Amino acid sequence: MSKRNLSETKNTAGQSFLSVVLIIGGMMIVVSAAVAVLAATFIDSGYGLQASNTAESVATAGANDAFLHLVRNSQFSMPGGYAVTVPNGSANVTVNNYGTSASVLSIATVKSRTRKISAQFSINASSGQVMVVLWQDVQ
């Protein structure tokens, strides 16, 4: 083999090696970016679930507060709404009293996650006893 053919073979081998290194490096970058995006998504969904659960707890606290107001005063009504503040956030609670029944809507937002609790109560006109008829998480 002549000197010239040997030199051309080395150049071709070097070019092939460089191409393989660049392709593998590019693939590693793509895989690393995909893993980073997935990790960020999983972390965000975990915090989102935690915020959603916290918002549900705050909304439940608001509905419970309205229930206590109705137990103490069966004529209690706040159609314009009022705020119930707890350590994890606050809920906006609306109470509509119809004499023998009352409806409550409690809305809480924590870190852009909103949860709503709707409750219906029956009120005994003679005794003033308040009973829960319906309690549900509204989507």
- Condensed to tens digits (0 to 9), the pLDDT of residues 17-74 reads 888 888 999 999 988 888 888 777 766 666 777 888 899 999 999 999 999 999 999 8
Q: State residue 61 phi and psi, 5-degree precision.
A: -60, -40
Strands 130-138, 78-86: pairing kind: unpaired
- Condensed to tens digits (0 to 9), the pLDDT of residues 83-139 reads 999 998 899 999 999 989 999 999 999 888 899 999 999 999 888 899 999 999 987
**What domain range is 10 assigned to?**
3-138
- Rounded mean pLDDT of 11-21? 78
d(CA 9, CA 25): 24
Q: How many domains does the chain have?
A: 1
